């Protein structure tokens, strides 16, 4: 990181490390170079003062409040045919045989390459964000909850299990948790304010960014249309909502609940489970 900033410094030492990759069982070599530099030279520099609302998703990796997007590279989907072919070949081999182990290593290397490409992509995108933004607003997502299995139980079997399994694979391949983790420490280093809105309280995908009213929508509805006349792509509207929610006093950063431009509608007397955001269009989803 920041190789150009360290060009004038002289390396102190070089350490070569050989480590066994637990996934592939192969030895890998690493070079570690140590330089003596002032503390100020290591600090992450922020060069812009922009404010950005971001809605992370699957169709696009990131949707911004101004309508711009970052495309989803879909590393896993690109590698699925090759991965499935290797797994079929391995299924025909005797477990523990030399060829079985070779195919297992190839599968592990492919998974590692997918993970490395995803990590590299997220590192670059999050670094660019904190460098140009003084404020970043997004939702406090929980990828583990979003990717829960729909299989159900013997007494209550789930519905559309295969479709949900494919959706879960896409959710996990996007790397939302990794992106949030990187944004947290990079924003702290750069002096960028990171605002994580409370999704259940705010309901960004259902709320209108113009009049702050709740407009129920199903997951298949990709346009936000409100009676106030606001019409935007659903993800852009969500990004605007979290950005508006972030313009609160600095003493309540990242809560998304304590202070906002307009109060949320009262929901007294409703069970807590009915106040959560769901993809249904019934009144209980509001």
Q: Which helix (H) or strand (E) holds 35?
A: strand 27-35
Q: How many domains does the chain have?
A: 2
Q: Are 261 and 208 in a shared domain?
A: yes
Q: Are 22 and 131 in a shared domain?
A: no
Q: Are 113 and 32 in a shared domain?
A: no
By residue range, what is the domain housing residue 76?
A: 44-285
CA distances, 253 to each of 148, 237, 257 (Å): 29, 21, 10
Q: Are 31 and 151 in a shared domain?
A: no
Q: Are 5 and 109 in a shared domain?
A: no
Q: Are 49 and 23 in a shared domain?
A: no
DSSP summary character for residue 275: G
pLDDT band at 5 (very low <50, low <70, confident <90, very high): low
Q: Are 241 and 141 in a shared domain?
A: yes
Q: Are 120 and 27 in a shared domain?
A: no
Q: Are 133 and 237 in a shared domain?
A: yes
What is the pTM (predicted TM-score) of this model? 0.77
- Asked if the model's pLDDT at residue 171 lies above 80, the reply is yes
Pairing between β-strand 27-35 and β-strand 11-20 as defined by DSSP bridges: antiparallel
Q: Are 37 and 131 in a shared domain?
A: no
Q: Are 98 and 3 in a shared domain?
A: no
Q: Are 151 and 264 in a shared domain?
A: yes
Active site residues: 55, 139, 235
Of residues 184, 197, 246, 249, the one with CA closest to residue 44: 184
pLDDT digits (tens, 9 = 90+) for 185-202: 999 989 999 999 999 899
Residue 16 has a pLDDT of 92
Domain boundary among 43, 58, 76: 43
Q: Which long-range contacts (CB under 8 A, 24 or more apart) does 213-221 make?
A: 214/265, 214/286, 216/280, 216/281, 216/282, 216/283, 216/285, 216/286, 217/281, 218/279, 218/280, 218/281, 219/279
CA distances, 123 to each of 112, 130, 179 (Å): 16, 11, 8
């Amino acid at each position: 990181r920041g190789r150009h900033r360290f060009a004038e410094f002289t390396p102190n030492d070089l350490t070569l490390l050989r480590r066994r990759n637990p996934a592939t069982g192969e030895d890998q070599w690493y070079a570690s170079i140590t330089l003596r530099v002032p503390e100020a030279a290591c600090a992450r520099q922020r060069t812009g003062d922009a404010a950005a609302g971001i809605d992370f998703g699957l169709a696009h990796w990131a949707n911004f409040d101004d309508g711009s997007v970052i495309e989803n590279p879909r590393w896993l989907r690109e590698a699925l045919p090759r991965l499935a072919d290797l797994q079929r070949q391995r299924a025909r081999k005797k477990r523990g045989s030399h060829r079985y182990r070779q195919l297992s290593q190839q599968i592990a290397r492919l998974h590692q390459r997918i993970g490395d490409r995803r990590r590299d992509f997220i590192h670059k995108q999050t670094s660019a964000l904190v460098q140009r933004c003084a404020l970043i607003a997004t939702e406090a997502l929980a990828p583990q909850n979003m990717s829960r299995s729909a299989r159900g139980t013997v007494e209550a079997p789930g519905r559309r299990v295969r479709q949900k399994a494919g959706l879960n694979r896409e959710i996990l391949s996007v790397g939302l948790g990794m992106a949030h983790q990187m944004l947290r420490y990079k924003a702290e280093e750069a002096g960028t304010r990171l605002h994580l809105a409370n999704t259940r309280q705010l309901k960004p995908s259902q709320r209108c960014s113009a009049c702050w009213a709740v407009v129920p929508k199903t997951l298949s509805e990709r346009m936000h249309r409100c009676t106030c006349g606001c019409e935007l792509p659903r993800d852009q509207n969500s990004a605007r909502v979290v950005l508006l929610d972030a313009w609160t006093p600095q003493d309540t950063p990242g809560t998304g609940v304590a202070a906002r431009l307009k109060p949320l509608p009262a929901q007294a007397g409703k069970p807590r489970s009915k106040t959560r955001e769901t993809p249904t269009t019934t009144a209980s989803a509001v």
